[in-house]
């Protein structure tokens, strides 16, 4: 066999290996992209365990606020919310809604959206009631955005308006 024929065969083998490797890498990258793709549609939360977890985090927040616990309230609030509203532990109760010690919350609606791998946002419509020994009286609805980071096992709460809530979950004024 001639020397040039051997070189051509080696070049062909190298080209086949390069194209084969590129194809395999491309397929692996596509598969990873599909697995990590975020479904950013808003859906009603149907998982009862997650529902109770989110409802519990809002109840914890209400408890911290009603007991005027500056540090814990500050720690559970969303960092962007704190910065945007110039909230510190010293002025926190001047900047957020107050809750009477008898107030209890109960989630009436929770919607979820996937933000990033293992990070979810939950939009909560919370019914606030004044509970005494013999009566339960409706007070108002409050709205929250809860960010849950499953990989770090942390959550952050951001109070939002009814309009923000309706916009996020896709409710229009007429619907």
Partners of 122 in beta bridges? 112, 146
CB count in 10 Å sphere of residue 160: 18
pLDDT of residue 169: 86
Both tokens assigned to 138: 């409706």
pLDDT of residue 20: 75
The correct CATH number of 43-169 out of 3.10.450.540, 3.30.413.10, 3.40.50.720, 3.40.80.10 is 3.10.450.540
Flag whether pLDDT at 129 surpasses 60.
yes
Residue ranges per structural domain of the chain: 1-37, 43-169
pLDDT band of 157, cuts 50, 70, 90: very high
Q: Please give the Cα distance from 171 to 163 (Å, whole number).
A: 9
pLDDT band of 121, cuts 50, 70, 90: very high
Contact (Cβ atoms closer than 8 angstroms) between residue 140 and residue 172:
no
Both tokens assigned to 20: 């084969």
Q: Please give the Cα distance from 56 to 54 (Å, whole number).
A: 5
User: What backbone torsions phi and psi does residue 104 show, to the nearest 5 degrees?
Assistant: -130, 145
Q: Please give the Cα distance from 21 to 78 (Å, whole number).
A: 45
* Burial of 142 per CB tally in 10 Å (0-12, 13-18, 19+): buried
Q: What is the pLDDT of residues 24-65, one digit of tens each?
A: 777 776 666 555 556 678 889 999 999 999 999 999 999 999
Partners of 136 in beta bridges? 131
The count of residues in the chain is: 175
Span between the terminal Cα atoms of the chain, in Å: 80
Point out the least confidently predicted range of 38-47, 68-77, 125-134, 148-157: 38-47
pLDDT of residue 33: 58
Q: What is the pLDDT of residues 51-109, one digit of tens each?
A: 999 999 999 999 999 999 889 999 999 999 999 999 998 999 998 988 888 899 999 99
């Amino acid at each position: 066999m001639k020397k040039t024929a051997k070189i051509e065969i080696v070049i062909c083998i190298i080209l086949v290996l390069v194209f084969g490797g590129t194809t395999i890498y491309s397929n692996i990258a596509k598969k990873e992209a599909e697995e990590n793709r975020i479904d950013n549609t808003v859906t009603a939360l149907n998982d009862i365990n997650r529902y109770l977890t989110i409802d519990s985090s809002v109840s914890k927040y209400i408890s911290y606020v009603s007991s005027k616990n500056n540090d814990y309230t500050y720690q559970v609030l969303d960092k962007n919310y704190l910065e945007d509203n110039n909230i510190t532990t010293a002025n926190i109760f001047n900047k957020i809604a107050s809750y009477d010690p008898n107030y209890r919350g109960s989630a009436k609606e929770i919607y979820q959206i996937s933000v990033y791998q293992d990070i979810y946002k939950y939009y909560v419509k919370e019914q606030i009631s004044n509970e005494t020994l013999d009566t339960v009286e409706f007070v108002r609805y409050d709205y929250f955005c809860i960010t849950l980071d499953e990989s770090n096992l942390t959550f952050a709460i951001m109070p939002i308006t009814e309009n923000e809530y309706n916009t996020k979950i896709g409710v229009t004024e007429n619907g």
